[in-house]
Structure 1
Amino acid sequence: MSIWQAIILAIVEGLTEFLPVSSTGHMIIASSLMGINELPITKIFEVNIQFGAILSVVVLYWRRFLQNFVFYKKLLLAFLPAAVIGFALNDVIDAMLESVVITAIMLVIGGIVLLFVDKWFKYAVDNTVTYKNALIIGFFQCIAMIPGVSRSAASIIGGMSQGINRKAAAEFSFFLAVPTMLAAATYKFITDLLGLELSDLFKLDFVKIENSFNVIQPNDVKLLLVGNFVAFIVAMLAIRFFISFLTKYGFKMFGYYRIAVGVLLLALLAMGFDLKV
């Protein structure tokens, strides 16, 4: 992977991670068109640069993260369903993540849903997330374990289904992304890049842990640092755009866009393109 390919992937990640369009589908297209979808570093890179996207939320909403403990209790409650279900069904989720067909189909289905979301929840006007709301949003977020659904879309719709307005639901989705993406990215970093099991950490097997870091090459470190920086900057801009656009226009344009991307993926598959997640 070249530095320019890393920058392009990071831009794609930053643009799509917090928008309801599925970052997975876009990463498939970008990496496949650049011919790097089968490189071992690509999957590791795509997971790792989520750290940069996560940091953008913390920086943009730093005042919210300095709130009282109630804020964190709600985040923890919303995070728990994904933590439990994700751990229990890890193998099933990994198997689904390998399917470009599932990703494409869910992009289309999710796009159709977004065409009607504003009409379904036009009376969602609350701007406060209760403990009950947080837990329900957490379960909605679990739907995004199916590739192509979009974590952002699932959690925002979960919030709106509870009567929470679009802006408040979107912001809570951003906050919830921090523990969710941090846990997922850290787990993948440990298991995929370092080749460790969680049991190695719990056993404090320092020799094995130290040796595992030898697999990281200097060029990989450079790519990851650049990727995280670019994803951080682009994600901040994307979040600002999304909140403004969503408040004014709603979800319909994102729905049409998702359908177009899903159809494009299916068309590329039909034409014999070797697409990999």
Structure 2
Amino acid sequence: MTNALILGVVEGLTEFLPISSTGHLIIVGSLLDYTDEQSKVFKIVIQLAAILAVCWLYRGRIARVVRHMWKPTPERRFALNILIAFMPALVLGVLFHHTIKTYLFNPLTVAGALIVGGLVILYLERRPPRVRFAEMDEIGWREALKVGFMQTLAMFPGVSRAGATIMGGLVFGLSRQAATELSFFLAIPTMLAATVYDVYKARDLLVMDDLPVFGVGFLAAFLAATLTIKALLRYVSNHSFEVFAWYRIGFGLLVLITAYTGLVSW
């Protein structure tokens, strides 16, 4: 139960921050020695909780899109942009999902990606801002597609889906608020598709006896994700993402140093 609580909180806190939830789950799971078959299904369950947190917080907006997307309205344009942005991850995910999970899901590759990603964020944050789209609804399909391709970089564990989409949005002219909200909405189809696929692949590992453990992790991830999303939206209104870059670099170096010195057997 303790492992479930810790990892649920880790998932909720990191899923929508540009610091890589997958990377943190791999590293923390390794530290807790929770890497068995049950852990694979557990991580799927808590990822679903994070998706539902976004759906809950934006339930009004989602309901409006569902009601009006069948007519030539701004809601239809919004839905099409999300679909367009989702397509690169869908295609490349199907092609390379197995290879990436087999060869790249380990703490040392994650640490390297955390450091490189942190350096990229620092570089991008020190460029003069070029805001062309103050609101998420103002972007066209070209910007949506570009951000979608940026999201595919997060297939490499440790890059961060949120980090790739938010920083990609900033590069392509979105305001901080718009890039962050786009990242939230793009997470819904992307993470839902990944969850459904992973559940199907791991269907033989589903056991009723695991429900209490999964329930604890699910609730922890949902609550932590809800609080994190609200806090991040307040934060980005007048702060840069540099603090997350320095955190990524520091955390990645810590993992590499402990591995090199033998303090932790990763």
State whether TM-score is above 0.5.
yes
Query: Once the 2 structures are TM-superposed, how far is the Cα of residue 148 of structure 1 from its aligned partner?
Result: 0.6
Query: How do residues 103-182 of structure 1 correspond to structure 2 at under 5 angstroms?
Result: 103-120=110-127, 122-126=129-133, 127=135, 128-182=138-192
Equivalenced residues, count: 252
Alpha-carbon spacing, 1:218–1:91, altered in 2? closer, same or farther (3 Å): closer
Aligned to 2:45: 48
Q: Deviations over 1:119-160 (max 9, x none)?
A: 225122512221111111100000111111000010111111
Q: Does 1:227 align with 2:217?
A: yes
Q: Stretches of 4+ moved more than 4 A in 1?
A: none
How many angstroms apart in 2 are the aligned matches of 1:74 and 1:182?
17
- Contact 1:121/1:161 (CA < 8 Å) preserved in 2? no
Q: CA deviation at 1:178?
A: 0.5
Is 2:26–2:106's contact at 8 Å kept on the other side of the alignment? no
Partner residue of 1:93? 100
CA displacement at 1:186 relative to structure 2 = 1.2
Residue 260 of structure 2, aligned match among 267, 270, 274? 270
Question: Given the alignment of the two structures, is residue 257 of structure 1 paired with residue 247 of structure 2, yes or no?
Answer: yes
User: Greater CA deviation, 61-70 or 149-158?
Assistant: 61-70
Q: What amino acid is the match of 1:63?
A: G
Q: Which moved more, 1:7-16 or 1:98-107?
A: 98-107
Cα distance in 2, alignment partners of residues 159 and 121 from structure 1: 14
Aligned to 2:109: 102
> Does 2:199 align with 1:189?
yes
* Runs of 5+ consecutive residues of structure 1 not aligned to the other structure: 196-214
Residue in structure 2 matched with residue 60 of structure 1 by the alignment: 57
Q: Structure 2: which 5+ runs fail to align? A: 66-74
Distance 1:125 1:246 in 2: 17
Superposition TM-score, scaled by structure 1 size: 0.86
Q: Distance in 2 between matches of 1:182 and 1:74?
A: 17
Residue 22 of structure 2 is matched in structure 1 by 24
SS in 2 for 1:249: coil
The root-mean-square deviation of aligned C-alpha atoms, in Å, is 1.6
Alignment CA distance shift 1:101-1:34 (3 Å)? closer
Please name the residue that 1:13 is paired with.
11
Check whether the contact 1:121–1:160 (CA below 8 A) recurs between aligned residues: no
Identify if the C-alpha distance between structure 1 residues 269 and 24 changes in structure 2 by more than 3 Å, giving closer, same or farther: farther
Q: Distance in 2 between matches of 1:151 and 1:30?
A: 18
